[in-house]
């Protein structure tokens, strides 16, 4: 196993072997095509010919953040595992749908049966999605392995950026303001069960378990209204791993929305709801009027 580096590239490529056969030519042509501005290129090869290894070399030589799209979760997981082996020192992230199960809402008119929407979210995959977002915002050496579902929007990037909390050592930050910001970012306060996406308060100490992290939590120690220390610790043992001069806390969900936007949307929904209820009552569709009011308000 050799570690290959390239000029002006943040990637460290762990190679079990050197490129061989047609691979060196393919790597050189792909890199040249991208540098020349080609929008589309195709790499052909039979199963087992080392296409993933070839692309790993291309990514390492270019030194740019990369997204690898796969047609399904199975292939995405395989590619994620392989790229993790090639780039163990870099940010290889996984971004796929976090639904283990999804049942859309439906109505069966013949039986007058309404089927409610139901779903089950995989918390580990949700954490990996948030980790991928953080890597894109913070690092140049990231590779995101995603399924085609990544083309769908997941919220307003402007709102997401605006909700990020930046903490610095010796910064003026009252405890009340920190707690308020965490709640706005959809973190849940729970002083007993400290898990991912939650925070707890003990005197002048606020512990935050970042939603994108599964191993380390953040301890914010305040002195009066000032950030005295920022520490990363093991949430299981409480052992302090390291102290940091600054830390960025990212929202607990991609769908965070400023309170002003939520309140404005609520008023708009109320107006539209009243219009639809009046319409159904005018059409003598009392069941539909009752259902839309129940679904909207409850």
Residue pair 169/245 in contact (Cβ under 8 Å)? The answer is: yes
Tell which residue, 94, 81, 95, 84, has the closest CA to residue 12. 84
Q: What is the pLDDT of residues 249-262, one digit of tens each?
A: 999 999 999 989 99
Average pLDDT over residues 88-114: 89
What topology does CATH give the domain 2-151? Rossmann fold (3.40.50)
Q: How far apart are CA 108 and CA 62, in angstroms?
A: 54
- What is the pLDDT, as a whole number, of residue 173? 94
- Is beta strand 217-223 parallel, antiparallel or unpaired with respect to 66-70? unpaired
User: What average pLDDT is seen over the chain?
Assistant: 94
- Return the domain boundaries, the chain: 2-151, 157-249, 259-297
**Fold entry, domain 157-249:** Penicillin-binding protein 1b fold (3.30.2060)
Q: Residue 35: its pLDDT value, please? A: 94
The CA distances from residue 66 to 41, 248, 250, 294, in Å, are 15, 23, 22, 46
pLDDT at 112 over 80: no
- Helical H segments across the chain, by residue range: 23-35, 51-62, 73-86, 123-138, 157-163, 175-184, 259-282, 286-297
pLDDT above 90 for 114: no
Percent of the chain exceeding pLDDT 90 equals: 81
For the cut 80, the answer to whether the pLDDT of residue 81 exceeds it is yes
Percent of residues, the chain, with pLDDT higher than 70: 100
The set of residues, in sequence order, having a beta carbon less than 8 Å from that of 100 and lying 6+ positions away, is 120, 121, 122
What is residue 298's predicted lDDT score, i.e. its pLDDT? 78
Q: How confident is the model at residue 115 (pLDDT cuts 50, 70, 90)?
A: confident
Note the pLDDT tens digit of each residue in 15-38: 999 999 999 999 999 999 999 999
Q: Please state the rounded mean pLDDT for residues 108-114.
A: 81
146-199 confidence digits (pLDDT tens): 999 888 888 888 899 999 999 999 999 999 999 999 999 999 999 999 999 999
Q: Are 140 and 91 in contact (CB under 8 A)?
A: no
Q: What's residue 75's pLDDT?
A: 96
Considering the entire predicted model, what is its pTM?
0.88
**Residue 182 CA to its chain's centroid (Å):** 17
Reported confidence tier of residue 48, pLDDT bands at 50, 70, 90: confident
């Amino acid at each position: 196993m050799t570690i290959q580096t390239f000029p002006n590239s943040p990637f460290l490529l762990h190679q079990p072997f050197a490129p061989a056969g047609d691979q060196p030519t393919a790597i050189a042509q792909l890199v040249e095509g991208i540098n020349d501005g080609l929008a589309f290129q195709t790499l052909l090869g039979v199963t087992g010919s080392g296409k993933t290894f070839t692309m790993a070399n291309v990514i390492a030589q270019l030194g740019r953040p990369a997204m690898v799209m796969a047609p399904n979760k199975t292939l995405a997981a395989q590619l994620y595992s392989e790229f993790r082996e090639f780039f163990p020192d870099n940010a290889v992230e996984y971004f796929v749908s976090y639904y283990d199960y999804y049942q859309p809402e439906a109505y069966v008119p013949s039986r007058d049966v309404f089927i409610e929407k139901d779903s089950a979210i995989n918390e580990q995959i949700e954490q990996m999605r948030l980790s991928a977002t953080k890597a894109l915002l913070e690092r140049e050496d990231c590779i995101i392995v995603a399924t085609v579902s990544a083309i769908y929007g997941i919220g307003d990037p402007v709102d997401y950026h605006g909700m990020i909390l930046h903490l610095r050592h010796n910064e003026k930050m009252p405890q009340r303001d920190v707690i308020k910001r965490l709640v706005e970012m959809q973190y849940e306060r729970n002083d007993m069960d400290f898990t991912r996406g939650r925070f707890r308060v003990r005197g002048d100490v606020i512990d935050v378990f970042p939603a994108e992290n599964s191993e380390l939590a953040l301890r914010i120690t305040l002195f009066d209204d000032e950030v005295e220390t920022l520490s990363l610790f093991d949430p299981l043992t409480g052992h302090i791993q390291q102290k940091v001069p600054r830390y960025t806390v990212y929202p607990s969900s991609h769908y965070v929305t400023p309170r002003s936007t939520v309140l404005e949307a609520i008023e708009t929904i109320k107006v539209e709801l009243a219009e639809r209820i009046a319409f159904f009552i005018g059409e003598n569709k009392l069941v539909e009027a009752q259902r839309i009011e129940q679904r909207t308000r409850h």
